[in-house]
Amino acid sequence: MNQVQQQQQQQQQLDLSVARFAIYYAPPSGSCWWHEGSRWLGRDAIAARVLHAPTVEGLSRSLHDLTVDPRRYGLHATLKAPMRLAPEARLSDLSGIAAAVAARHVPFDLTVHTDVIGTDNGKSPGFVALRPKAGTSDEKAVNALAADCVQAFDALRAPMNDTELAKRNPHLLTSRQREWLAQWGYPYVFDEFRFHVTLSDRVTAGDATVITDWWQPRVQALGPMRVDSLAVFVQPTPDEPFVMFERFAFREAA
């Protein structure tokens, strides 16, 4: 069965009342970034197969135990957060908007570094991620892409139910984040958005240091990430992991 046939079969099997779709940045499937990042997480979300994660000395637990959440979502950075489709929305609508957004952007390179984020000023554990340097042209380009995705796909988003809303812990959010959550279904958009490729669950400071030290030389060796497409991921049911659904290439620069 070829890739097109697999996608057609996947579409036929989807229950759109429960499936969630997300618009992600995912490194090109044949790239070293995709290979290295997927191996780290222990799962290839394009091929939908388990991989052997590396052994990392010095961690308090196995790498497998410290990458549960990012493995479930696959190697990615969020551009439009996971959402259920509105009852009247069709898969063709999703593909049409993705193609239109992709046609508005041209490929660019994104230089990243390791960072520990979400630490609440050091009061709680954070997670390790790959991020662009703040204030750079790289960051501005990817922020513009994310803002475009947030707005363009929102017409297809089903309203959040009480369970989905509760998972966002609105009582822990700032007033600005609650405003964005109510309007866009996700609190970290526009001025609250921080592009990041997640590499771990929330971990201790010691584990964060080990992970950072492991990744730093590899980040240098791998070089910039190529941003040349939108990746539509799908979670068929709440108990299943996200997998690549379709990819939409950007237009070529003039």
Q: What is the pLDDT of residue 92?
A: 97
229: enclosing H helix or E strand: strand 229-235
Q: Tell me the mean pLDDT in the region 215-224.
A: 98
Please name which of 37, 73, 29, 57 lies closest in space to residue 219, comparing C-alpha atoms. 37
Please name which of 97, 96, 98, 91 lies closest in space to residue 19, comparing C-alpha atoms. 91
3-state secondary structure of 198: strand
Answer yes or no: is pLDDT of 1 > 50.
Answer: no
Answer yes or no: is pLDDT of 68 > 60.
Answer: yes
- The alpha helices in the chain, defined as continuous H runs, are 3-13, 32-41, 68-73, 91-103, 137-152, 162-167, 175-184, 205-222
Q: What band does 49 get if pLDDT is binned at 50, 70 and 90?
A: very high
Q: What band does 119 get if pLDDT is binned at 50, 70 and 90?
A: confident
